[in-house]
């Protein structure tokens, strides 16, 4: 019999998931908590009646409207209406290989985001700032890909004729969901990184201004422009440039508060990257030592 009772610490688990997801619906990106008005819920990726647990790795922050949509999609899949579902269920080893390949593609993208935040990316900071909307859209698309991958493994209905196969598949699903949670965190840090770089604060009153503002909207003081030389208006590409490459004019430095915010995002990214890489090794180990042997026998 399936145990659908909620644990005594459910509220703390739910709050932990909300905090991990930045109080943001991972499907439509509406914000809740103090930063928005969306009603947030913790969604079980693998439903309780399908053997899912209350572990935070099996929970995702969604708004009430998106939870309804996800639940309807899961019900449609369970009823055999796969064409109406958000993703096709995993019902064969070929489907499982396809889902793992999909996760592999996401890993490559997430690695680029992590490297960018940590200063090892292929794109200069100035380019990211000047095209911030495009990069933020790409990041939202990446989150949607991760959500799709989560739903793939939530829709795992692979038949197993032995207990060893069932245990191996269940363990793989659990570890992949944990891996994808770390990937969601890294994409979120990349979004935070862009927000820090595109923030313009007035050095006099601390007012947050738009990226392209020249004067403070509160006190009318001229704002420092970190990605453009104030003398000749040449674009600045790298944050650590001290002088304009075109006219030699001294460039403004990132204010200490923003520098600390940037370092905080970088530290969090580095920590999550380490956990993510460790989790990736765990997933590969489960595939090689449990899933493959179980299906060979």
Residues 35 and 163 in one domain: no
Residues 97 and 81 in one domain: no
Q: Is the pTM of this model over 0.85?
A: no
78-106 pLDDT, tens per residue?
Answer: 554 333 344 566 777 788 888 888 888 89
Angstrom distances, CA of residue 151 to CA of 68, 90, 94, 100, 248: 14, 10, 17, 13, 53
Residue 3, classified by CB atoms within 10 Å of its CB into exposed (0-12), middle (13-18) or buried (19+), is: exposed
Tokens of 83: 């064409």
What CATH number is attached to the domain comprising 290?
Answer: 1.20.120
Residues 171 and 273 in one domain: yes
Tell me which of 28, 50, 85 is where a domain ends. Answer: 85
Dihedral-angle region of residue 33 (phi above 0 means left; psi in -120 to 50 means alpha; beta otherwise): left
Cα–Cα distance measured from residue 23 to residue 21, given in angstroms and rounded to the nearest whole number? 6
Residues 113 and 159 in one domain: yes
In a domain, 242, yes or no: no
Q: Whole-number mean pLDDT of the chain?
A: 81
244-293 pLDDT, tens per residue?
Answer: 888 888 877 777 788 899 999 999 999 999 999 999 999 989 988 988 88
Q: How many domains does the chain have?
A: 2
* 3-class DSSP assignment, residue 31: strand
In a domain, 27, yes or no: yes
* CB neighbour list of residue 174: distance below 8 Å, 6 or more residues apart: 55, 57, 58
129's enclosing H/E stretch is helix 125-130
Residues 179 and 274 in one domain: yes
Domain boundaries, position 149: 87-198+256-297
Least confident window among 92-96, 126-130, 186-190, 223-227? 223-227
Residues 162 and 284 in one domain: yes
In a domain, 109, yes or no: yes
Residues 118 and 96 in one domain: yes
């Amino acid at each position: 019999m399936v145990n659908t009772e909620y644990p005594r610490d459910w509220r703390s688990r739910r709050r932990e998931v909300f905090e991990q997801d930045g109080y943001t619906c991972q499907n439509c990106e509406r914000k809740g908590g103090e930063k928005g008005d969306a009603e947030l819920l913790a969604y079980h990726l693998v439903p309780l009646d399908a053997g899912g647990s209350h572990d935070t790795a099996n929970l995702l922050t969604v708004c009430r409207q998106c939870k309804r949509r996800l639940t309807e999609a899961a019900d449609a899949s369970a009823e055999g209406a796969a064409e109406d579902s958000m993703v096709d269920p995993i019902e064969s080893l070929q489907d499982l290989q396809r889902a793992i390949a999909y996760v592999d593609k996401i890993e490559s993208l997430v690695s680029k985001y992590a490297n960018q935040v940590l200063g090892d990316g292929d794109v200069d900071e100035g380019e990211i700032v000047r095209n911030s909307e495009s990069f933020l859209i790409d990041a939202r698309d990446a989150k949607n890909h991760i959500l799709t991958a989560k739903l793939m493994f939530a829709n795992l209905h692979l038949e197993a004729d032995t207990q060893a196969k069932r245990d191996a598949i269940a363990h793989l699903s659990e570890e992949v969901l944990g891996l994808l949670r770390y990937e969601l965190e890294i994409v979120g840090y990349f979004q935070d990184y862009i927000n820090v770089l595109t923030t313009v604060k007035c050095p006099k009153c601390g007012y947050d201004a738009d990226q392209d503002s020249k004067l403070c909207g509160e006190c009318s003081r001229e704002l420092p422009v970190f990605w453009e030389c104030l003398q000749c208006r040449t674009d600045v590409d790298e944050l650590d440039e001290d002088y304009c490459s075109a006219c030699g004019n001294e460039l403004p430095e990132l204010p200490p508060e923003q520098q600390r915010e940037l370092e905080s995002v970088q530290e969090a990214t580095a920590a999550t990257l380490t956990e993510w890489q460790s989790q990736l090794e765990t997933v590969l180990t489960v595939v090689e030592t449990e899933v493959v042997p179980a299906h060979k026998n």
